[in-house]
Amino acid sequence: MATAVNQLQQLDSELETILANFDTNYVWNYGSSKEGLHDLYEKAKREQWNASEQLAWDTDVDPESEIIPQIFNPLEDYAPFQKLNEKERLRLRHGQIALQLSQFLHGEQGAMIVASQLVGGVPWMDAKYYASTQTMDEARHVEVFSRYTREKLEWEWPINESLKELLDATITDSRWDFKYLGMQIIIEGLAMAAFGSMYKMANEPLLKDLVYNVMRDESRHVAFGMLSLKDYYKDMPANELKDREDFIIYSCELMRNRLVGSQIADAMGWNPQEVQDVVLQSKTGTIFRRMLFARVVPNLNRLGLITPRVRSAFEKLEIIEFENADPEAQDRELGLA
């Protein structure tokens, strides 16, 4: 009996419950009603993969090795970092890659929850078909990132507060198009940029293969959002459009400023504000944070959501330069198209 009580207490400590209230739609038209979604669903079925069999999990991984080359470390010129001995630097390198992959892991769980909500919330049957495949995709992504962080890195970090805030906002909003905006367009768009960067930089073959397979799925997920929201905002009343503008600006400000090393600073006993300033001002950090939006901004532009208010905000964030970028060309460069 005591063992059972202890197990329940442990389960409670590992759970977090948030209240989500959203409309759920039956659809009695079982035919295809949204152009392009049926083809995307067929593609999703063809491209399902089994991570247990298709990834080389027997690969030996040294978590303190240069999984990502040290040249891309934004703290390289930070005085407290330079004072570390070799053992401490290896431990920090281990912590940095574990932190990044942990955020991927937590983000994928959020994506799985949102995809499951879309199954109920979307107003077209072919969108329900596709959202069901995305839920499976996201479960697989949680599986692979969880396995890599546990078995190969043996280090999992808590979720970043800003990422958690955006996931919560997307999960709890009652409107189905906000779930598309928050997840398919913004979070998945940012993830594709981050995955693409990691894929190009990574030296470790298992991680490289894992990320590539995840990107193939994520590319479809962004397309799902674009197809579903096409023309949706065209004649939307100004007061409703303002809600979307507010959400876009809030989300992009939150995500642009989240990767600033506060968790690393806390773990190392460094000054969080100093670390944030160093990361924000470093060449690596600046390029990475800007390039995160190379997919988000042009997709918002295609949806007609770069309104004067959004444009002004994006100019201040220094990301408006991407409004005419070509996400499909980025996919082709990565071998995804």
Residue 193 located in a structural domain: yes
- Closest to 263 in 3D by CA, of 135, 102, 151: 102
Residue 170 located in a structural domain: yes
pLDDT in tens, 308-325: 999 999 999 989 999 999
Domain hosting residue 245, numbered range? 33-333
Contact (CB, 8 A) for 167 and 21: no
Residue 131 located in a structural domain: yes
pLDDT in tens, 122-170: 999 999 999 999 999 999 999 999 999 999 999 999 999 999 999 999 9
Structural domain total, the chain: 1
Residue 256 located in a structural domain: yes
- Closest to 238 in 3D by CA, of 300, 309, 178: 309
Q: What is the CATH number of the domain that holds 93?
A: 1.10.620.20
Residue 123 located in a structural domain: yes
Contact (CB, 8 A) for 218 and 187: no
Q: CA neighbours within 13 Å on the CB side: how many for 161?
A: 5
- CA torsion angle for 318, 322, 324, 329 (degrees, to 10)? 170
State the Cα–Cα distance between residues 163 and 205, nearest whole angstrom: 27
State the Cα–Cα distance between residues 25 and 239, nearest whole angstrom: 24
State the Cα–Cα distance between residues 98 and 201, nearest whole angstrom: 16
Residue with tokens 């891309």: 72
Average pLDDT score, the chain? 92
Per-residue pLDDT of the chain (337 residues; tens, 9 = 90+): 556 545 545 556 689 999 888 889 999 998 877 889 999 999 999 999 999 999 999 999 999 999 999 888 889 889 999 999 999 999 999 999 999 999 999 999 999 999 999 999 999 999 999 999 999 999 999 999 999 999 999 999 999 999 999 999 999 999 999 999 999 999 999 999 999 999 999 999 999 999 999 999 999 999 999 999 999 999 999 999 999 999 999 999 988 766 567 889 988 999 988 988 888 888 887 777 778 899 999 999 999 999 999 999 999 998 999 999 999 988 898 888 7
Residue 27 located in a structural domain: no
Distances in Å between the alpha carbon of 163 and those of 80, 191, 278, 293, 296?
27, 12, 21, 15, 16
Residue 4 located in a structural domain: no
Residue 16 located in a structural domain: no
- Closest to 307 in 3D by CA, of 233, 253, 255, 222: 233
